[in-house]
């Protein structure tokens, strides 16, 4: 069994952040490890506040994992402040995990900032070049490139521009489009299109966290990048389509749909 590590913030309502990451790793047959960067009070209705874990304690959590367990892939989510970003980058350089998937979380679906504006430049300069795959949504790709994204051609340009900043591959996600939910991958050489029907649903809390965690799991399990993205997208699609209505706002996706189906529970 492969061991996949999430470095992310929390969600006590179980839909996003570390909870989504660990459920996704388990649903992909991987052992879930997690380091917490920030404790967040949030639910399906929004983020109320958060406290950053100190850089020393983040470093110590990462050491505790890597000194004890072989890590096959790492997924990074909420990193909130420059100090958090720097300590994670130092530890990635020290331990050199085989696959690093970075979801550059900036603003939650509810509109709350999870990355302070002063950290945007640090994320770009310090963390982005360590990504094997970076998975910005459209607003995040706009911040990274400084350009507005209105159509598929703008998404293609953004994927190439962000790749030129140092990420080995870039997946610009189309969940925020008004039409279909097409995602575009630039692997440094070629563009790949992942066409997806948009599900008309409010169960989209944690879709980005789950997608990047599914990619990390699939890479750890030996899939090629393009196959990993295709599987991860299908996983999120099924998760939205089969979600139970939990909470009063944007509910979580269903993580174990395939397992439930096999067990005859759904
Ligand atoms: N309503 C939807 N129907 C189908 N796929 C969706 C929907 N919303 C998001 N997705 C997919 O979920 C993944 C996460 O995308 P997105 O919502 O853009 O990211 P984030 O959660 O970071 O804002 C992408 O693969 C996207 O295409
Ligand atoms: C700790 C944490 N990390 C990430 C997200 C973004 O998730 P989403 O954009 O899908 O709401 C979140 N709400 N909380």
Residue nearest to atom 11 of ligand 1 (CA): 175
198 exposed, middle or buried (CB, 10 Å; 0-12, 13-18, 19+)?
middle
Summarised one tens digit per residue, pLDDT across range 57-104 is: 999 999 999 999 999 999 999 999 999 999 999 999 999 999 999 999
* Cβ atoms within 10 Å, residue 126: 18
Where the chain has pLDDT below 70, the residues are 266
Other C-beta atoms lying within 10 Å of the C-beta of residue 216:
34
Closest protein CA for atom 13 of ligand 2? 108
Q: Of all atoms in ligand 2, which is nearest to the CA of residue 38?
A: 1
Active site residue 30: no
ipTM over 0.90: yes
Q: What is the pTM of this model?
A: 0.97
Q: 8: which strand partners?
A: 36
**For tokens 């179980």, what's the residue?**
14
CA of 170 to the centre of ligand 1 (A): 15
The alpha carbon of 166 is separated from its chain's Cα centroid by a whole number of angstroms, namely: 18
CA distance 231 to 245: 24
Q: Length of the chain in residues, anyone?
A: 266
Expressed as residue numbers, the domain containing 216 is: 3-262
Does residue 75 carry a catalytic annotation? no
Q: Is 173 a catalytic residue?
A: yes
pLDDT tens by residue, 140-149: 999 999 999 9
Using CA positions, which residue lies closest to atom 2 of ligand 2? 17
**Cα 65 to Cα 261: distance, rounded to the nearest angstrom:** 33
Collapsed DSSP state (helix, strand, coil) of residue 142:
helix
Domain tally for the chain? 1
44 is catalytic: no
What pLDDT does residue 177 have? Answer: 83
Alpha helices in the chain (DSSP H): 17-27, 55-66, 82-95, 119-122, 138-145, 152-164, 207-220, 225-241, 257-262
- 262 flagged as catalytic: no
**pLDDT on residue 176:** 87
Q: Which atom of ligand 2 is nearest to the CA of 11?
A: 1
pLDDT of residue 110: 80
- Catalytic site residue from 206, 233, 239, 251: 206
* Contact present, 120 and 150 (Cβ < 8 Å): no
For residue 54, the CA-to-ligand 1 centroid distance in Å is 31
Residues with CB under 6 A from ligand 1: 137, 173-176, 181, 183, 196, 198-199, 201, 204, 207-208, 211, 233, 236-237, 240
- Pocket around ligand 2 at a 6 A CB cut-off: 8-11, 16-17, 40, 42, 77-78, 105, 108-109, 114, 205-209
Task: Supply the CATH number for residue 11's domain.
Answer: 3.40.1190.20
22 catalytic per annotation: no
Name the nearest CA neighbour of 140 among 177, 103, 167.
103
**138-145 vs 152-164: helix axis angle to the nearest 10?**
50
């Amino acid at each position: 069994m492969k061991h996949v590590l999430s470095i992310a913030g929390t969600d006590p309502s179980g839909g996003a952040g570390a909870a989504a990451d660990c459920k996704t790793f388990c649903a992909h047959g991987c052992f879930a490890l997690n380091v917490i960067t920030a404790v967040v009070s949030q639910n399906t209705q929004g983020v109320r506040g958060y406290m950053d874990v100190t850089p020393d304690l983040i470093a110590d959590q990462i050491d505790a994992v890597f000194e004890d367990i072989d890590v096959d892939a790492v997924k990074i989510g909420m990193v909130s402040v420059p100090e958090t970003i720097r300590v994670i980058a130092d530890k990635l350089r020290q331990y050199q995990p085989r696959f690093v998937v970075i979801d550059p979380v900036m603003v939650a679906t509810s509109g709350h900032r999870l990355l302070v504006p002063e950290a945007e430049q640090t994320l770009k300069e310090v963390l982005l070049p360590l990504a094997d795959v970076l998975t910005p949504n459209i607003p995040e790709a706009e911040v990274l490139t400084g350009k507005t994204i209105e159509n598929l051609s703008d998404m293609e340009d953004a994927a190439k521009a962000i790749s030129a900043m140092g990420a080995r591959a870039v997946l610009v996600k189309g969940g925020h489009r008004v039409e279909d939910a097409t995602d575009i991958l630039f692997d440094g050489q070629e563009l790949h299109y992942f066409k997806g029907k948009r599900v008309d649903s409010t169960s989209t809390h944690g879709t980005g966290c789950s997608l990047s965690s599914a990619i990390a799991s699939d890479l750890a399990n030996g899939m090629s990048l393009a196959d990993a993205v295709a599987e991860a997208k299908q996983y999120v699609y099924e998760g939205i389509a089969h979600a139970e209505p939990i909470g009063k706002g944007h509910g979580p996706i269903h993580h174990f749909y395939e397992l439930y189906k096999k067990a005859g529970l759904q």
